[in-house]
Every structure is written in structure tokens, then in C-alpha cells.
Homo-oligomer: A and B are copies of this chain.
Amino acid sequence: MPQHRIENVSSGFWLFIESRGYRVLQYCVLAAGLVAMSAATVPDVRPELRAWLTVGLWCCLGFFTFELAVRVWTRSVSERGPRYLLAAAGAIDAMAVLPIPIALLVGVPAETAWLLASLWLLKLTTSVPGLALLGRVISLESRSLASVFAIFLIVLLLAAVALYVLERAAQPEQFGSLPLSLWWSVTTLTTTGYGDAVPESFLGRVIAGMVMICGLGVFGLLTGILATGFAAEHRRRDFIRTWDLVTRVPFFRDLYPAAIVELTRMLRRLDVAERTVVVRRGRPGDCMYFIASGEVEVKLEPRPVRLGPGSFFGEMALLERGPRTATVVTTAPTTLLILDVSDFHAFTALHPDLAQTVETEAKRRASDSKRKVSKEQ
């Protein structure tokens, strides 16, 4: 087979394996595999069903092996092969496939070996976008998190020692050693409260109450740090993506760089599927839309109008402060940039040029629409 044909086949496989449809299939296989693995551990499953579950598990394993093989092959054709298995995504794909056969060969009982199928879930880490973000948040906020963790440890240990001293005589089963007391301490400080170990002395209960309140405090700090960090990182990442889209809209090209930055901060990105109603006629209008990619259809009388990337719609409702004058439906997967009414007025107050362009375009459309109607008649 000549080289270029191999490359064509390879890139075909590549496109297939990176498509949205394949991802949905992968999620289904993953869910089915994990359900089968869980069901296989139930003791009173009938033998026939158990056999079918094993078949299903082997099929899932085959699917992931095929996926790994395609990925390794397509990468090696495009000369990025050797690096793939060393990268995080490759390692996770390999960890999904290899451990189970190895465990079976080594002689681990089948029912224990199949528990390694839980590693399949790690595949989520490569497809869920927010996880890399979370890693960055944790590395940036590591100092604050370390100090909260230190407080957690100090309260944990001091409470455990106090309860060990107070309760060891009365409840040797629950508080008879420091590790047992630490177990009580961690269930209480996280406000989990199993209730398997409960202090009975008066002082022990007073300390337990204080530990619970400390738990609320530690929790509050942790929540605050993670939430603040996550929000900030998310904002940063969104800015970069929106910036990329803004530069593709010809409409914004004549703006000063400072105005573009300001506008990028105001716009929100929205990914819309095919055949979705974006704007419904008669509803109050609180934002206008710019099309970054994709296409929409404006349901105008007498015939609908199609708008492509770089166009905008929904501006009439903002200019005249009335309800939406037409329904707008996407005809392809579309990425929209949303400008809220508050930001629209704030922005056009400072940059009257944009307001003028929008108004000119709106007038042109209105007259255009009238002309079309008269032509039809």
C-alpha cells in the first residue's frame, strides 16, 4: 500500500476517533462496562447472567484495546507515535487495557482481576476539560490549601488525644487506642458522623461539639479557597477562547485594541447544537448575539434569512427595547458570542462608533425586509 494511502486511511480513523459521535459511543461503552463489572461482584447473580456479564466485559476491553491500537497507529503514521504512550493520555489508555490481561496471566482470580476495570473511568480525565484547570488551581493555591490542611491536622490530632484520654476507660471498643480515636475524630471533623463511636462523658461531648464547629470552619475555608481559585482560572481560560473568536468577527476589526479587550471581557461564549431555538419571537430581549462559527436562520416574513459567521442578530430588541421581532434557529452547530443589554449600553456609551454601525445595519435590514415584502406582493 503506498504511503499516501496509508496516511489517508490513518487520518480517516483519526477523524473518526476524535469525533463527537465516537465520544458518545465511548461513554456508553464505559458506562456499560462499569455496570457489568459492578453486577459481576454481586454474589447471588445467576450463572448464565454472570457468563453474559463476562462476555460484555471482554467486549468492552476489546473496544478499548482497539481504541488504543488506532491511537498508537495513527500517531505513529503522523510521526508522533513514540511520544503518545509516554504522554498522560496514552498512559491512561494503556492502563485501561493492559492490567487486566496481565493480572489474569499472573494468576489473580478473575473476579478480582476485573475490578481493575475501574481504571477505565480515568479516561474521563482526558475528555473532561475542567480537570486540567483544577490541577492549575491546586498548584496556584497550594499555600493556602496547605495551611488549611495544617489546621485540619492539628484539630484532628488534639481532639483525638483529648477523646482518647477522656473515653478510653469507658469505651475501650471505640476509643481504646489513638488510631481508633483518630477515626472518630476524622468522621466528626468532616461532619460525616457515622455514629459508630460517640463520646459519652460530659467533657468529651463539649470537645466533640467544638470539633464539629471547627469542621464547619475548616470546610468554609476550603470552599472559599477552591471556589475563588476555580472562578479566577475559569475566567482566564474563557478570556483566551473568547478572544480567539472575537478576532474572527470582521465587525470588531476596526475597534481599538483596548476596546477589543474590554469587549472580550463582556462577551460570553455559548455553544449551541443544530436546530435549536436561540431567540423566540415575542420574548423580552436582553442580549444580542454575534456568530463566531456556524449558521442561523432568522424566521422573517415572507422568507427566512440565513446568517453566517461574523454576522450579528438580536440587536433590534436592544435598540428599541421591545420584544424579539423574529425567531432565530440554528441550522448547524453554532458558537455564539452573547452581549448583554447592560454591557451593550455601557460599551456603546464609551464607543459610539459601534452603536452607529449596529444601528446602520439594523436600519438597512429593516428597509431590506420591507423591500422584499413589496417585491413578493
Contact = CB atoms under 8 A, between A and B. Distances in A.
B164 A190 contact: no
A282 to B, nearest CB: 9
Residue of A239, A270, A341 contacting most chain B CB atoms (<10 Å): A239
Most buried by B among A125, A192, A260: A192
Contact of A192 (B42, B191, B230, B260): B191
A264 interface: yes
B134 A147 contact: yes
A161 interface: yes
Nearest to A235: B342
A90 to B, nearest CB: 15
B157 A144 contact: no
A179 interface: yes
Contacts of A147: 128-131, 133-134
Given A130-B147, A270-B140, A187 B177 contact: no
Interface string A31-49: 0001001110111000000
Nearest to A189: B212
Given A118-B158, A221-B230, A140 B349 contact: no
Interface in A119-165: 121-122, 124-125, 128-131, 133-134, 140, 143-144, 146-148, 150-154, 157-158, 161, 164-165
A164 B260 CA distance: 55
A349 B227 contact: no
Interface string A172-195: 100011110011001110111111
A225 interface: yes
Contacts of A212: 186-187, 190, 192
Nearest to A344: B261
Interface residues of A, number: 103
A226 interface: yes
Given A178-B37, A191-B192, A144 B121 contact: no
B219 A202 contact: no
Contacts of A264: 342
A268 B227 contact: no
Given A121-B154, A196-B195, A224 B222 contact: no
Interface string A282-305: 000010000000000000000000
A231 B221 CA distance: 9
A314 interface: no
A93 B350 CA distance: 47
Contacts of A240: 286, 341-342
A-B interface, 9 closest residue pairs, ranked by CB to CB distance from nearest: A224-B227, A130-B147, A258-B349, A192-B193, A220-B223, A194-B195, A190-B212, A41-B178, A239-B342
Given A133-B144, A192-B212, A258-B350, 10 more contacts: A43-B177, A121-B158, A124-B154, A130-B143, A190-B216, A191-B192, A193-B194, A224-B226, A236-B342, A243-B342
25 contacts: A38-B178, A38-B179, A41-B177, A43-B176, A115-B164, A118-B161, A121-B154, A130-B143, A130-B146, A131-B147, A134-B147, A187-B193, A193-B195, A217-B226, A219-B219, A220-B225, A220-B227, A223-B227, A236-B340, A236-B342, A239-B342, A240-B286, A260-B349, A261-B349, A264-B342
